[in-house]
Structures are given as C-alpha cells and as structure tokens.
Structure 1
Amino acid sequence: MSHSQEFYTKGKYKIIYGMRNEFTICYNETKPIVNNYWQSVNPMMKTLPIFLLQLSVVIAIGRVFMIVLRPLRQPRFLSQLLAGVLLGPGALGISGRVANDLTPFEGSMFLETMANLGVTFYMFLVGLEMDLTPIQKMGKTALSVAISGMLLPLAAGVGLHSMALQRQTVRAPEMGAYFWSIALTLTSFPDLARMLSDLKLMYTDLGKTALTAAVVNDLSCWCLLVVAVSLINGKKELYVAIPVLVGMTIFWFSLRPLIRKILRYISATSKEATTSDKHIYFILSLVFLSGFVTELCGAHSIFGAFMFGLMIPAGELGTTIMDKVEEFVVGILLPPIFLITGTRTNIQYIFADYSVGLVIAVILLASSAKIISALLVCLYLKCPVRDGLALGVLMNTKGVLALIILNEGRNMKGFDQQTFSWIVVAIAFMTAIIGPIVSYTHKSERHLKYMDRHLEKCKTEAPIRILACVHSTRNLSAMITLLEISNATRKSPIIVFAVHLVELAGRASAMLIFHDKDKTADTGHTCSREKAEAEQIVSAFESFEDNNHGATVKPLTAVSPYATMHEDVNHFALDKLANIILIPFHRRSDPVGGWTEENVQHKLVNQNLLATSPCSIGLLVDRGLTSFAESQKGTQQECRIAMLFVEGTDDREALAYAWRMAGTPSVTLSVIRFVPGKEGSEFMENSGDNEEEPDIFTAMFERETQKQLDDDYINQFRFKTMHDESIAYVEIQVNSGDQIVSAISSEFYDFDLYVVGRGHGCTSQLTAGLSTWSEFPELGVMGETLISMNLETPASVLVVQQSHPVSSGSKKFTSNSTKDVFGNKGVPAFVNHRKSVDGF
C-alpha cells in the first residue's frame, strides 16, 4: 500500500482509499476444500440467500412508501427510490447490522448481475410500449419543446458538472459531464405516460404534447448514451461508436421486416385464436440474444433490448407480452437497481467539502432546466404560463431510465459518491414536485372557468359536441339510432366522440386509444375477440359518418378500471368541450318485454358519471329503438318522440335535446307538459308552510324562479315551433303522480322514444307519490315510471340531466377556449401497447 492511500477498518472489512475515485475492500473468506478439487460449500448458497433477503426488504419498504405517498399523488418510482436510499449508507446502512447482513460488499456482484438482467428486460418493455408514429406528425409546440428540452439541459449538465470540476478535479472526472447532461435531458416516456394517466391528463392537449416531445427526447438520449459509452470504452476515439450505430441500423432494417414476416406466418398457420406461450418464450429468449449482440459491439445490453422492443410491430403479440411479464419485471426484477442506487447514494455527506448554498443551487438548477426551456417555448408561442409550467414539470419526469444512465456513469467512474448523490437527490426532487404542481395548475378550481354549454342555452341550429359511450356492440345500434335522429345537417352539424369503454385488466395505467380510419390494419397477427369488437364499433360509427354529411365522428377506445372510468370520460368531455354525454343503461330488454341483466359495474359507471359529469348527460334505455334504424333503410318510417315535461332544469335540458331531434326528417315530436290542477296548486302552496321558518322564503323563491324559467322556455319553444307541423304541444292538468301515469297509459302510450328529465335535485309535488320506492335512482322518477309501465309497445327512454354549477361559489369544470393552445395538428401523440393516438 502506497503512502498516498488511507484505510480504515469496519467490521470484517478493510477499506483502502485510493486516487481517481477508486477504493479497495479487503475481507477474509474461508473456502473449505474437499479432495483438492471442489468446494464443500456451494458459493451460490451464500450469495443467493443474501439477494433474496435484499429483494424482500426493498420491495416491502417500497410498498410502505407507496401507501404513505399515495395521498400526495407520488408515483411508484419515487417510493422505490426512497426505499433504496433508506437502505443506503446515509440512512439505515450506518447500522452495522444492515451493512453486514443486508448490503454486504461480497453480495454486490450478484446484486448488480440481477439488476442488469432486470433493466435489460425493462428496456425491452419500454421499446415495446413506445411507438414512433408521433414523430411523423408532431405539432410545432411539441417539436419546439423537444428541441429546447434537449439543448438547455445538455448545456446545464455540462455547466453544473463544471462547478464540481473546478473544486476537485480528481473526484469529478471530465467524463461525468456526459452522463449529467444525458440524465437531465431525458424524459422517461413510460413513467410520463403513467403520470399523465394518474392525473387524468393523458388525452388532453397538454398530455399529447408532452408525450410526443418525450418520444423525441428518449430516442435522442439513447443515441447520445450509445455514443458516450462507446467513446469512453474506446478512449475518446469517435470511430468506435460507428460500429454500434451501424449495427443497430442494420438490425432495424433487416430484423424488423423479418419479425413481421414470421408473425404473419404464425398468424396464417396457427390454429390458435390467440398468441401462444411458445411465441412469448421465443421472443423473450431473443431479448437475451439482442443484449448479447450489443455487448459484443461495445455497448450495454440495454441498447439491444430496447431496439428489439421497438422492432416488434403493433398487435396482439406486444399486448400479450406486456400483460404477461410487465408486473413481474417491474415488481421483481427491477427493485435491485433501486437498491444499488441507494447503496451508492450517501446523503449523510452530501454537503462535505462544499457549501450548502452551492449544493442546493446545483440541485435546483438541475431541476429547473427543463422547466425553463418549456416556459420559454410557451411564452414565445403565446401559450398560457400555467400550461408552460405544467409542461416543463412533466418533461422533468425521469423514472428508471435516468437511474440506468447514472449507474452506467458510476460504473465507468464518471461520478464520485458525492456528485452521484447530488443528482439522485435532484431526480427525487423533480419527481416529487410533478404531481402537486400539475394538480395545482390544471385541477385547481381557480383556473377552471365555467362555461355554460347546456343545450338549453344553445340555439337549435348551433353545432353541438356529443360524447357517445358504448360498452359493447349490444349498445351500438340504439346509440347510433339516437345520433341519427339528432338532426345532423350542414347548417347544424354535430361532432361525435364515439368512446368504446373497456375495462382495464393486467395493466398499471389507463390509456386512451384513438382510431385513424385512414390507417391500414396490421395483418401480421390474429385479431382477438376484444379487438374485433372494437373494430366493429369503430366501423359502425364511421358508417354513420359516411351516411350523415352533417356529422363528424372521432372514434376512440378508453381503457381504465371501472372505479375510475367516469373520471376519464369526464376529463375527455371537459377537454373536448362536449355539450352532452350519452351513455347506455346497464340493462337492456329481452324479446318478451323483460330485462337482461348486464354488468353491474356499468351501473356504477353510470352513477358516477351522473354525480360528477361536467356537462349534461343522457342515459339511454334501449327497448326497441334499433328497429327504427333498421326499417328506415328500406322505407321512411316515422319516428314518434314524446317529451314529458314536469318542471326543473333537467326537463328544460331534455326539451332542448328533443327540440333538436324534431328537425330530423320523418321525426315527429309531442311535448306533453304536466301542470298542477286546482288541488295540486293548493297542495304545493300548503307544502311550503310545513318547512322550517328560515327555509320558507328560500324555498318559495327558488320554486318561483324555476317556474318562471320553465314558463319562459316553454313559451319560447311554442313561439318558434307554432308553424311546424311535426311538433305538437299539449298541457295536461294533474294533481298527483297517479294521474300522470293514467294520462300516459290512456293518451300518450304509442311512441318510439320518450325523452324526460331526471329531476335531480328537484322535488316536485306532482311526482311525489311515484318516488316512494326506487330501484333505479339513476333514471329519476319519470324515467323509472316509464320503464315499469305495462305499455302495449315498450318504448325506449332517454333520461337527461343538466349539469349544475358547484355550490359555495365555485364553478364547474370546463375549458376556457376551443383553441388547441399547443398547436397540434391532429397528431398521433401517444401509443400504449403500440396503438396509435390521434388528437382532435
């Protein structure tokens, strides 16, 4: 040992400090030998139990952090990173028990081997999940954000590393600037997708712009990392990177077509309906081979695995692989990389040899490079500042990819422990602030101005935007029929966002799949039943668009858990400024007039939508409305619609929609208004006397206000339709709910569709006797009464509810402009499971 080296003893270890960011660890290990050839103790029996203990502890602590941080909207990545740091030398690793039994030096080699295996498979999944189509049609803002999000962080990485380089040249090697810059430039595409999904911003203009820019940043950073690793391995000779890049290019243009041909052959010859396990195992075996080939070329195995994932075309194969192995890779194989990162992070000495102000400045500047670049772009393009702030924070999403880059730099001695700890803390800080800042800028009610987009306020000839939801093909015909009679003309067009609601199963985050009818289908795989159903739904809505020149249809598929499906629908309706959401009833009638039980989860979705919808919502009970659509193809059969008006905002909204449908040829509308008779009027007046004294005048004023609004809207309707022979108006005096039922049964029983208001929040004395018992509260009093009546011909029912402003002075969620503030041009902005997403 030279005089320039220092050492100290810690337990059974003798740690010798050297120069140039190196140290040596010595320890004694007894290996019993038998017959002078073989060890009597299997070495795997020593390292494997240590690894199993490490894996169990880091997963358990990560789960605890996930439970604690979940209310703060923190991602899984931060919980796992904190678990690794907690077990590091700056926290629990100080304890000799933890250092000797949980993170011993002799177990580090096996731990790193398993971590490399995990990141190799993880990078394969990243490539499998990513799609390059957004690059072909990216908008101006996304391109600007991607370019500025690379240039400024690259410069910041070099500058911040120079701050450390000026202080201690030996401990801060020059090559570390490469990895600083690449780590700051990176935006982790899969982690960003999950973050946007959790924040319900994936399909907004903000989310699409961020995801599109993330694809460009990811690919650029991987190219830079390949060059950096090749240069360092080749002692700064640029030509050593050429074989790696050329090899990857050859793989892309030769193996990718070959894989497509193999998949088409399997699809044509296989008798199985879905991708078999043997195909999955074969693909996973090729992951090892691709990693081995890139190691031979002088690069890390993660590059080959990532490229191989990109080569697999979109289809059922990629979806099946993700469903089968993603949770195993992320939950079991990936935690070792967090433990390795934690053992290399010592927050105890983060301020050693440096001033506190300098270290904090480095961390803050590293965290703000992306934010500043996005803000500058948004200010230049005159986008709202809050959008620029949110976009910059989202582009700071690092995730596991950043840790892979940092550990690769650490392995190449580009960082010492202190500078490595700086950037790990910076990454943790970047991740922690994403959820709170984006929630504040895009979910705070102070920024969400309410716009009155009710149908009641719109002119009958004004264009409307409809969000039509279906769960399966069983809901399809009735929904399309309803759209056909919604009077789509060139003078009064309708824009339909046709949403196929699919339950999320086997995935960590929700997704929204936009369908491009001009995109040819991929025939390289066998279509599953779910995909065939989705294609049938898309085809039916596109046929509706072709047959109705005043309608524009945007088909998409929303995949999310039933418990949060209403949030995805609401946010999409909010982003697209929908006037009304149309949803099917969870039950449908059978041929004998009874009911077929549907998925009870659909009922939960409907109830959640009715309780939280940002716009008006229509619940369609199909009891034969499809027969009109079928017969209309051959003859012009008349569709008879009855609108039953009692009182309140929901009834006015229902009348507005029925009024619009009356403009459709071959549609007749009868508006039946039930008004209180003499006994009913006296009962309503006396009912106010039974209320508590402080609420008497409030209730009376509210009742008179609603009555005046009802009268004004009815008078407006009657005045504008007085010469329209297809519209009839009738007033019926009733004193109770029984008289309403009697009037419908005797005079107004022969209709194809009834349109009623749900009456949510409105207690009418006319229907009080009908609401004593309710099986389907989502239909309201009149809606449930209609489906329970024994009419000669059961008719379909459309129950309409108008959204109401939130109480206590706050306003309803809505957007404040129809302009795409990010300038996207209908660009496919996100693909999950390799399916394209188009913005509108």
Structure 2
Amino acid sequence: MLPPQVVNYVEGDAQHKHNLKGPTYCIETLRDSGGIWHVSSAIEYTHPVFMGQFMITTMAYMMFRFLLKPLRQPKFVCSVLAGIVASPQVMQLAKIFPGNTFPHEEILVVRTIAALGTMYILFLTAVKTDVTVIRRLLKKALFIGFASIIMSAGAIYLLIQQLNLPGMEKGVFSLVFAVGVSLSRFPNVVYAFDELNITTSDLGQLAMSASMLSEIYVWVRMIMEVYLISRSKLLWAVLGALALSLVILGVIGPAIRLIIRKMPEGKLVHELLILSILVGTMVIGFLSDMLGSLPFVVIIFGLVIPNGPPLGSTLTEKTELMVWQILMPMFYTAVGYRIDIASMDMNSFGKVILLMMTGALGRLIGVTLAALCCKMRLRHGVLLGLMLNIRGPFDIFIFQRWVATDDMDVDTFTMLAISQVMIAAVVTPFIDIFYNPHSRLSTSSRKCARSIQKTLSNVEVRILCCIHNQEDVPGVISLLEASNPTIDSPIYAYVVHLKELIGRATPVITPYNKHMKRTRSRESYHIMCAFENYSENSNNLIGVEPYTVIAAYKGMHEYVCRIAQEKFIPLIIIPLQASNEIINASEAIASRDLRENIADYAPCTLGTFVDKGMNRCMGQGPAFSCKVGVLFIGGPHDREALALAIRMLGRPDVSVTVFRFVFPEVDMDTAEVIDKKVDDALIEEFRAKKVDIDKTRIYREVAVRDSEQVISQIGNLKDKFDLIMVGQKRRVRGFFSEETMLDWSENPELGVIGDLVASSDFCGEMTSVLVLKHPGDTTGSYLNISTGEPEGERCLLERTHRR
C-alpha cells in the first residue's frame, strides 16, 4: 500500500488530483470570494459550510414534510428534495450564496458523515433483524423474492441492450446494474413500512421476509464488483472478508453473548459496552471497506449482536435518533451535490424513466404471478408487488458507489436518483390508500362478534389475557380463579406477553415454548412459569396457551385481535396500571393508544382490568375468597358485566352483589323498550341462579333521580368489595349524561363510573375494577325477543373444542 500523500490544490485542479496514486489527504485552497464568505483555506471554511448545509437541509426537509404529508408522500421523497434544495446549483440559482460558497470539492466532511450514516443504518438494521422470523414464511418469501428479482432484472437487462444510455459502462456491468436496481432492500422496506404502520400485517411481514433475502444478492453483486475492478485481487478480497467474518462469528459474537448472560437481570447495559460496539463498527467498516465489501462484514457484525433487550434495544435507543436526524441528512446533502437537474438531457432522461418503469412493472408482474402460484388473492398479490417496489436511500447508495467506481457518470446518477424518487412518490401513496390491514379486523368484528352473554354455560370459556409485565400476573390469575372454572365449563386462557418492539426490525408473534432458554426472554419465562404452575394446580379446570408478541405499540392490537378472531375468544382482559406514577410518559400514552385500538377492532368483549391487589383473594393457602360488586344501570356494556357475574355464581367462596340503579320511568322508543326487556331478562336469570349459600348472591335495587345520586350511592360502597365490575357506558336519556362527565375523567377509556371507582379517592389501594366493553354495535341485544334464543349462537358454536 502506498503512503498517504498531502496535496494542496486549488478549486478546479481536478486533473492533478486524479493523477495521484494511493490514499490522499486533500487540503484545498479556495479563490477569494470578495464578500462576507471570504476565507483562505478549506480547513477554515469546513465548519461554517457544514453548519450551513445541515441547517438548510433540515429546514428544507421540515418544509417538504409539512407540504407533502397530506399527499401521503414518504420521508424519503422529502429528504431527497431537501438535499436538492441544499445543493450548490439551487443555492446559486436562488442567489442566496455566492458561487464559491458551496464548491463541489468542499464536501469531504459531508461525504464522510454520509458514509458513517449509511454504515450505521446497515449495522442497526442487522442488529434489529431476527433471522428466525422468516422461517414461517421461508419458502413463500424465497419464491416471491426470487421471482421479483428475476423478472425485473431480466426486463431491465434486455431493455439496456436496446437503449443507448451514455455515461454507463457496458458489458458485465449491464448485468450488475440490472440486478442492483431490481433489489428491494430490506432497510428501505423496514423503515417505509414502519412509517406506513403495516409492519404487523400479513402482507407486510411477507414483504419484509422477501426483501431480507435480497441482501444475499447484494453480497453476490459486491463480489462481482470486486471481480470487475481487479480480477487478481478478488481472491484476497474474499479471503480477507471471510477471515474478518470468522473472527466476528467465532470470537466477538460469543464474547458479547457471554457478557449479556452474566449481566444481572434488570441492570442497564454499561455505556462502555455500547461505546465499544459503536467504535468497533467503525473499525470493522474501515477494514471491510479496504477489502471492497463495506456492507457485508458490517451486516455480519450486526447479526451477531442479540436483538431486543437488553443490548439490542439499548443500542438502538442510543444510536438510531442520532443516525437518522444528524448523520443521514448529510447523506441526502451529498446526494444533492451530485444531482444537477439543469444539465440533464431530456432524451436520455426519458430512456432512464422507461428503464426504471419497466423494472418496476417487471417486479410487480413477477411478484403477482408468484403470489398467485402461492394461492394468494390477486389483490394481495398486486399490493405485495407494490410493497416490493418501495424505494429508499440504499438504492441511491448503490448509485453513488457506481459513480465512485466510474461505472456511470454524474448525469446518469441524477436521472436514476430522480426516477427512484418518482417511483417512491407514486408507489407509497397507493399502498397507503389501498391497503388497510385494519379493515379485515373491523369487518370480522361486525360479522361475528362474540361476548360473554353469547357464551353458553356448558362450554369451555376462552379468555385472552394480555400481560405487560410480571406485576400484572397475580391479579389476572386471581380474576381467572374468580371466574369459576368448572368441569362442565372450564377456562382456557390464551396468555399473551406484550413487549414493545425495540432493537428489532420485524415484529413477531410466537407460541412460547417452556423449554426456551431463559437468556432469550427472562421476563417472559417468569410470566409463563407462573401461569403454567397455576394451570397444573387447577385440576385441569384451567388450560393455558402462552404467546409472546413483540411489536410496536401502534400495531400491537392487530396481533391481539387476530388471536381473538382465530381462536373464537369471547373476552379479552388487558390490564391498566393502577399506579399514578408515570415513569415514561410516552410509554403511558402508547399503552393507552393500544387499549383504544383493541377496543375499536376487538371481535369480542374487552375487559380493562385495574388491579389494586386482587391477589389478596388467594390468601396464604389454597383457600380463595372474593367479594364482587356489579354496578348495573342498563345497556349492552353493563349486561356484559352482569353476564360475567352470573358465571361467577356457584362457588361458596365468591359472593356477588348486584346493584341495579333504577331511574324514573319516561316515554321510550322501540329500541329502548327492547333494551330494557333484555336488561330485565338478564336480571331475572341472575336472581334465578341456583346457589348453595344464599349469601353468595345478593340483589339490590337503588332508586335514583340523576347522575349525582348515582355517584353518591356508589360512594357508599367504598372499600366493601375486592372487585367491582361495571360496563364502560350506558344509555339513560336525560338522567346520566356521560359525554359531558368524561371531560374530567382521568381514564376516559374506563367510562365515567369505571373511572370513578378506579380513582384513589374512592377505594385507595383496596378495590380492583373490571370495566367491560361490548363488541360491535352497542344497540345489539342479548336475546332475540321474538324467539327468546341467544343471538349469535351460530358464531359461538363454530368452534367449541380447544384446538
């Protein structure tokens, strides 16, 4: 290797620079501008230029984001446009800066930071990648991904032979180019899907799995590039990359996993480890770049780091914001420097657009045909083809490397970059408009909503229990025990541990295997052990099927609702933290949004559980004792609470007291008359229920005139029950105006009465609360008045067996 040379050259002396051999440290001398930007050397000029570039790019991005967001344009489009605005051509055209303020040679710092940004994005994407996720979709993803690349690359390669594109190398590079622009890069797809909020959808996960396989073709392409540059160096480049990869896989990876295993549970990752990994990434990037395979070894290094908590999540939290908000804007600034729209030849640009559109159409056709072969619907196949046409920064990154290796000129780069922005500007809004993964959930909810009222008394009752952390476990187990599992009507609990997607790229839902290593998910291990022990000690009255869901809060409800839909579950239980201490305000808001999303799309009843120490009912030994109160005014939501209370009757250690608040009679329309009849029928069922001890079933009617008397009567029940159940809302025309009372509620999702009972002023830390929300149309009734038969019985009997 030749020693570095220090060169001093003036602007425009590019020929002298290109004649140098080996690494070169450039100190550039600028011509005098004669204005306020007068400087004598590039070293003095670097800092103000860099700050100006960063500010202009950031402000331009914010402007484009504000203007184009209503048009559903992605961040990628806004970022490239911002980079173009910060380019010398636009700045000089607008006469904001003199001609030599942003010279082309004065972007060494910008391009260095841009290279760091792309390297760290590749590294973080690899860290967040869980290669086990694609196993479920491996065959389908491999087939679809291969079809998309073959169809697109074949169409582009054949068209290149017919078109005369100046500024592009011919021969083998034509094939390299065709394959390179046909890839659907995994980082592009991941971040675009996160922006579109479709990462948890079926098509989204299939598209991510297919794009993950495209990275294999990237490695093959890099080997071909090394071969084209120097055939004699190919062997040494491959052997060097292989040796570096073996060191990472055999030494660095096991050392990092050993450190994680020995780390005490709950302890934060030491900053020295995070800093060492980030510096190690730069070192590995430097070594692999010398070998001609920059992305390859950096990706290998990212894959050996355990994703998720504690290391993967901490690494992502501390690094991702800096990379995307500080380093990557410089990447788009560097892109803007190379884009010169004024010098484009429109005839050649038309050819490039035709080339890129042909590739996009070939990718769409290939994916659609492959999807049809996999017995997918035509509409889903077309949408999947659009998803794999997502364009992003790593497509432009490929073009930049081709410019650096003189395989294409700057004019061709400009046309290719603009064509990719145009494709992204068209494809992304189409996906956002025509693909709504929530529609299937909402349609299913309306078609066959299940509830406690529709569940027969002699069938297995399925309950989906959402668990956030270990503190939720005792209360949920006590609630299951109070629900009176019997031989004729056992309870089967689907326990879902909800974990936020941090340090991972793809969301997952997996049945929890009790033989899973504790080091992979210690918290899940303790949670599932508790439920399995409870199931084993229940004399086969409680069955448990555990799951682990790792997803972003904004898409987590899709997994929950999908399980409830597929398993025909009539009740979902989700805890609400009783403590008013908010450690993380953003997490509290995300958790509330999750509950609201589940409530909107759940195909069954939703029970929001505020646990304030219900585990006290379990006692010190095998004895269980629980006092349950039900607040009943009327309506479908209150009837759900009463239906669950009826199920609780029958065991002597659980007493149920129903308080029915009776308002003065008024003229009612037909719907209200029917609704009251259904209320009366369910009340009569509760009063007629046979119990061994009369004291375990108590019914009281409380006459009230308005909401103030209701609240006053509820206040008299303070600290008298272990659990109070109530519906989320009710219809009492003129007597109980919930809409105005919700304005001062601390937790509006609990409803007015639920929020009152859950407040610390009412019961402190003594009484737990379960607020139930009826699914679907709240005007629906429990009984069909004309026939007297349970409504929706067909939906319930579709599946009464366990599996």
Deviations 1:686-726 (A, max 9, x none): xx5xxxxxxxxxx623322322343455567778x569989
1:418-429 to structure 2, matched below 5 A, reads 418-429=411-422
Whether the aligned pair in 1 keeps the contact of 2:742 and 2:751 (CA below 8 Å) is no
For residues 268-303 of structure 1, the C-alpha deviation after alignment (integer angstroms, 9 at most, x for no partner) is 888994433333333333223323332343x14333
Q: Which deviates more, 634-643 or 262-271?
A: 262-271
Task: Tell me, yes or no, if structure 1 residue 674 matches structure 2 residue 660.
Answer: yes
Whether the aligned pair in 2 keeps the contact of 1:191 and 1:398 (CA below 8 Å) is: yes
CA distance in 2, matches of 1:542, 1:252: 42
1:257 to 1:732, Cα distance in 2 relative to 1, 3 A: same
**Cα 1:305–1:168, aligned 2, differ >3 Å: closer, same or farther?**
closer
- Determine whether 1:618 maps to 2:607: yes
1:527 aligned partner: none
Name the structure 2 match of 1:401: 394
- Residue 12 of structure 1 deviates from its aligned partner by 8.4
Matches within 5 A, 1:252-401: 252-263=245-256, 266=259, 273-297=267-291, 299-314=292-307, 316-348=310-342, 352-354=346-348, 356=350, 358-401=351-394
The CA RMSD measured in Å over matched residues stands at 4.7
The one of 218, 222, 243 aligned to 2:218? 222
Deviations 1:151-180 (A, max 9, x none): 2232233234334xx325675533543453
> Which position in structure 1 is the counterpart of 2:789?
none
Query: What is the identity, as a one-letter code, of the residue corresponding to 1:703?
Result: E
The Cα shift of 1:383 comes to: 2.0
1:59 counterpart letter in structure 2: T
Offset from partner CA, 1:393-450 (integer Å, 9 cap, x none):
2222332221221111222233344443343233223333454223323338877523
Q: Please list, as runs of the form range in 1=range in 2, the aligned pairs for 1:142-221 lying within 5 A after superposition.
A: 142-163=141-162, 166-168=163-165, 171=168, 173-218=170-215, 220-221=216-217
Report the AA paired with residue 632 of structure 2: F
Comparing 605-614 with 61-70, which one deviates more in the overlay? Answer: 605-614
1:43-101, Cα deviation, whole Å (9 max, x unpaired): 42245543443333223322322333334444332221122234458755656766834
* Aligned-pair CA distance for 1:260: 3.7
Write the distance in 1 (CA, Å) between the matches of 2:454 and 2:484. Answer: 17
Q: In the alignment, which residue of structure 1 is the partner of 2:496?
A: 498
Flag the 1:296–1:657 CA change in 2: closer, same or farther, 3 A.
Answer: same
- Deviation digits for residues 475-517 of structure 1, max 9, x if unmatched? 3311232234446689765452524465x89x89996676844
Contact 1:386 1:441 (C-alpha < 8 Å) held by counterparts: no
Q: Which residue of 2 aligns with 1:431?
A: 424
Which sits farther off after the overlay, 412-421 or 490-499? 490-499
Tell me if structure 2 keeps the 8 A contact 1:204–1:575.
Answer: no
Query: Alpha-carbon deviation of 1:626?
Result: 0.8
CA contact (8 A) 1:473 1:537 kept: yes
- Asked if the contact 1:673–1:731 (Cα under 8 Å) also holds between the matched residues in 2, the reply is yes
Pick closer, same or farther for the CA change 1:551–1:244 going to 2, 3 Å: farther
Give secondary structure in 2 for the equivalent of 1:414. Answer: coil
Evaluate the alpha carbon distance shift between residue 772 and residue 192 of structure 1 in structure 2; reply closer, same or farther with a 3 A threshold: closer
Paired AA for residue 551 in structure 1: G
Aligned to 2:20: none
How many Å separate the matches in 2 of 1:170 and 1:70? 35
- For residues 591-639 of structure 1, what are the alpha-carbon distances to aligned partners after superposition, in whole Å with 9 as ceiling and x for unaligned? xxxx9899877875676535853233222232442122354xx324344
Distance (Å, rounded) in 1 between the aligned partners of 2:294 and 2:765: 68
- Corresponding letter in the other structure for 1:323: E
Structural mapping, 1:636-715, within 5 Å: 636-662=623-649, 668=654, 670=656, 672=658, 674=660, 676=662, 680=663, 683-685=664-666, 688=667, 700-711=669-680
* Separation (CA, whole Å) in 2 of partners of 1:629 and 1:760: 32
Task: Name the CA shift for 1:214/1:363 in 2 (closer, same or farther; >3 Å).
Answer: closer
User: Secondary structure in 1 aligned to 2:548?
Assistant: strand
CA deviation digits over 1:187-211, x for unaligned, max 9? 3333323333333322232232222
AA partner of residue 725 (structure 2)? V
Normalised by the size of structure 1, how large is the TM-score? 0.74
Q: Percent identity?
A: 22
How far is 1:650 from its partner? 0.6
Give the Cα–Cα distance (whole angstroms) in 1 for the partners of residues 109 and 52 of structure 2: 13
C-alpha distance 233-71 of structure 1, shift in aligned 2 (>3 A): same
**Structure 1 CA distance for aligned equivalents of residues 765 and 14 of structure 2:** 89
Distance 1:146 1:363, change over 3 A: closer
Whether the aligned pair in 2 keeps the contact of 1:248 and 1:307 (CA below 8 Å) is no
Deviation at 1:586, TM superposition (A): 4.1
Q: Quick one: which amino acid aligns to residue 575 of structure 1? A: R
Gaps of 5+ in 2: 1-9, 16-26, 32-38, 780-794, 797-802
1:758 aligns with one of 692, 713, 728: 728
Is residue 469–residue 497 contact of structure 2 (8 Å, CA) maintained in 1? Answer: no
Correspondence 1:244-255 to 2 at 5 A: 244-255=237-248
- Counterpart of 2:450, as a letter, is H
1:309 alignment partner AA? G
Secondary structure of the equivalent of 2:660? Answer: strand
Paired residue for 2:449, among 453, 461, 465?
453
Residues 1:627 and 2:613 aligned together: no
Shift of 1:215: 1.8
Q: Measure, in 2, the Cα distance between the counterparts of 1:406 and 1:77.
A: 16
Tell me if structure 2 keeps the 8 A contact 1:90–1:346. Answer: yes
> Structure 2-normalised TM-score?
0.77
Which residue of structure 2 lines up, in the alignment, with residue 692 of structure 1?
none
Distance change (3 Å), C-alpha of 1:523 and 1:730 = closer
Alpha-carbon separation, structure 2, partners of 1:418 and 1:394 = 28
Using a 3 Å threshold, how does the CA distance of structure 1 residues 716 and 422 change in structure 2: closer, same or farther?
farther
Q: Distance in 2 between matches of 1:627 and 1:290?
A: 55
Deviation readout 1:307-339 (Å, 9 max, x if unpaired): 322233446333333222322222222333323
Change (3 A) 1:400 1:635: same
Between the aligned partners of 2:583 and 2:289, the Cα distance in structure 1 is 54
Q: Distance in 2 between matches of 1:596 and 1:261?
A: 39
Instruction: Measure the CA separation in 2 of the matches of 1:107 and 1:672.
Output: 79
User: Using a 3 Å threshold, how does the CA distance of structure 1 residues 461 and 122 change in structure 2: closer, same or farther?
Assistant: same
1:78 aligned to 2:83? Answer: no
Which runs of 5 or more structure 1 residues have no equivalent in the other structure?
Answer: 1-10, 17-27, 33-39, 525-530, 589-594, 689-698, 808-816, 819-839
Kindly state the Cα deviation for residue 390 of structure 1 after the two structures are TM-superposed: 2.7
Residues 85 and 91 in structure 1, CA contact (< 8 A), matched pair in contact too: yes
2:622 alignment partner, SS class: coil
Is this contact kept in 1: 2:83–2:334, CA < 8 A? Answer: yes
Give distance in 2, aligned partners of 1:133 and 1:734: 61
Q: Which residue of 2 aligns with 1:118?
A: 117
Kindly indicate whether the alpha-carbon contact (under 8 Å) linking 2:167 and 2:411 is maintained by their aligned counterparts in 1: no
- Cα distance, 1:217 vs. partner? 1.6
**Contact 1:347–1:421 at 8 Å: present in 2 too?**
yes
1: distance between equivalents of 2:46 and 2:768? 69
Q: 1:744 to 1:102 in 2, by over 3 A?
A: closer
Selected match of 1:797 from 760, 769, 783: 769
Distance in 1 between residues matched to 2:112 and 2:741, nearest whole Å: 68
Q: CA deviation at 1:29?
A: 8.1
| Distance in 2 of aligned mates of 1:474 and 1:581 | 18
Distance 1:715 1:111 in 2: 77
Work out the CA distance in 2 between the residues paired with 1:773 and 1:90. Answer: 54
Describe the SS at the equivalent of 2:770.
Answer: strand
Q: Is the 8 A contact 2:352 2:419 kept in 1?
A: no
Aligned length: 733
AA aligned to 1:674 is R
